[in-house]
Structure 1
Amino acid sequence: MRSRVVCGVAAAVTLFATACGGGDDAKSSSGATLGGGTAASGAAPAGTSGFPVKVTDCAGAETTFTQAPRKIVTSNASSLEMLFWLGAGDRVVGTGFPPGKGTMPEQFAARAERVEVLGDMVIPKERLLGSGADLYIDTFADMGGMGAMGSGPSEKEFSAAGIKHIYLKSTACAAKRPGPQQDLAEVEADIKGLGAVTGTSAKADELVAGMEQKLGAVRTALAGVPQDRRPTYFFFDFDAGTKQPIAVCGKQVANAVITLAGARNVFADCDGDYKPVAWEDVVARNPDWIQLGVRDKGSAEANAKAYDEAERFLRGFDATKGLNAVKGGRFVRIGSERTTIAGVRNADTVQQIASTIHPDLVKPAQAAQ
Structure 2
Amino acid sequence: MFRLLFILFFLIFDSSAFAATIINGPLTVDCSRIPQRTVTLNQAATEIMLALGLEKQMIGTAYMDDTILPRFKTAYDAIPVLAKKYPAREILLDSDPDFVYAGYASGFSPKRGLASREELRKLGISSYLSPSELQKEKGWNIALLYQELREIAAIFHVEQRAETLIANLKKQMNDALPQPPPANKPRILWLDSARPASPLIGAGNGVPNAIITLAGGDNIFADVDGSWTSVSKEQLLARPADIIVLIDAEWDPAAEKKKILAAAPLYRSLEAVKKKRYVEIPFSSSTPGIRVPEAVKTLADAIRGFLKTP
User: What TM-score bracket applies, with the shorter chain setting the length?
Assistant: 0.7 to 0.9
Choose between structure 1 and 2: higher strand proportion. Answer: 2
CA-CA distance at 1:360 after TM superposition? 8.7
For residue 337 of structure 1, what is the amino acid of its counterpart? Answer: S
- CA distance change for structure 1 residues 271 and 207 in 2, over 3 Å: closer, same or farther? same
Paired AA for residue 65 in structure 1 = C
Match status 1:54 vs 2:21: yes
TM-superposition CA deviations, 1:223-248 (whole Å, max 9, x none) = 4x35xx2111111114x755421122
Q: More helix per residue: 1 or 2?
A: 2
Distance of 2:172 and 2:210 partners within structure 1: 14
Instruction: Confirm or deny that 1:185 pairs with 2:149.
Output: no
Tell me the residue number matched to 1:259: 213
Spell out, residue by residue over 1:115-165, the C-alpha distance to the aligned partner (whole angstroms, 9 max, x if none): 2222222221122223221110021114588x84x2322444312322101
Q: 5+ residue gaps in structure 2?
A: 1-13
Q: Return the structure number with greater relative CO, CA threshold 8 A, min gap 6.
A: 1
CA contact 2:196–2:266 (8 Å) conserved in 1: no
Query: Is residue 2:265 matched to residue 1:318?
Result: yes
Does the CA contact (< 8 Å) of 2:198 and 2:231 recur in 1?
Answer: yes
- Aligned counterpart, 2:172: 214
Could you tell me which of 235, 248, 261 is aligned with 2:190? 235
SS of residue paired to 1:334: strand
Aligned residues: 295
Q: Tell me the SS of whatever aligns to 2:281.
A: coil
Out of 266, 291, 297, the position equivalent to 1:345 is 291
Question: For each residue in 1:304-329, what CA deviation from the matched residue of structure 2 results, as whole angstroms up to 9, or x when unmatched?
Answer: xx433322221221011111211222
From 244, 249, 254, the equivalent of 1:295 is 249
CA separation of 1:360/1:152 partners in 2, compared to 1, >3 Å: closer, same or farther? closer
Report whether the alignment pairs 1:333 with 2:280: yes
Rate the CA distance shift 1:314–1:154 in 2: closer, same or farther, 3 A: closer
Over the matched positions of the two proteins, sequence identity in percent amounts to: 24
Which residue number in structure 1 is paired with residue 5 of structure 2? none
Are the equivalent residues in 2 in contact too, given 1:261–1:353 (CA < 8 A)?
yes
- The answer as to 2:57 corresponding to 1:115 is no
Letter of the structure 1 residue corresponding to residue 219 of structure 2: N
TM-score norm. by structure 1 comes to 0.73
8 Å contact from structure 1 (residues 246, 275) kept in 2: yes
The answer to whether the 8 Å contact 1:184/1:257 transfers is no
TM-score by length of 2: 0.86
Q: Deviations over 1:64-86 (max 9, x none)?
A: 22022111001122101111111
* 3-state DSSP of counterpart to 1:333: strand
1:202 aligns with 2:160: yes
* SS of structure 1 residue aligned to 2:46: helix
Residue number in structure 2 paired with 1:65: 31
What is the Cα deviation at residue 284 of structure 1? 1.2
Secondary structure, counterpart of 1:358 in structure 2: helix
- Opposite residue 321 of structure 1, the aligned amino acid is R
> Pairwise CA RMSD of aligned residues?
2.6
2:229 matched residue in structure 1? 275
- The SS at the match of 2:85 is coil
Aligned in 2, Cα 1:262/1:220: closer, same or farther, shift over 3 Å? closer
Describe how 1:83-232 pairs up with structure 2 within 5 A: 83-98=49-64, 100=66, 103-142=67-106, 148=111, 150-170=112-132, 172-175=133-136, 177-178=137-138, 180-181=139-140, 183-219=141-177, 221-223=179-181, 225-226=182-183, 229-232=184-187
Checking the alignment, whether the CA contact within 8 Å between 1:174 and 1:272 is kept in structure 2 is no
Contact 2:101 2:128 (8 Å CA) reproduced? yes
In 1, Cα distance between equivalents of 2:90 and 2:175: 47
Whole-angstrom distance in 1 between the partners of 2:198 and 2:79:
35
Secondary structure of the equivalent of 1:257? helix
Q: Does the aligned pair in 2 maintain the 1:248–1:267 contact within 8 Å?
A: yes
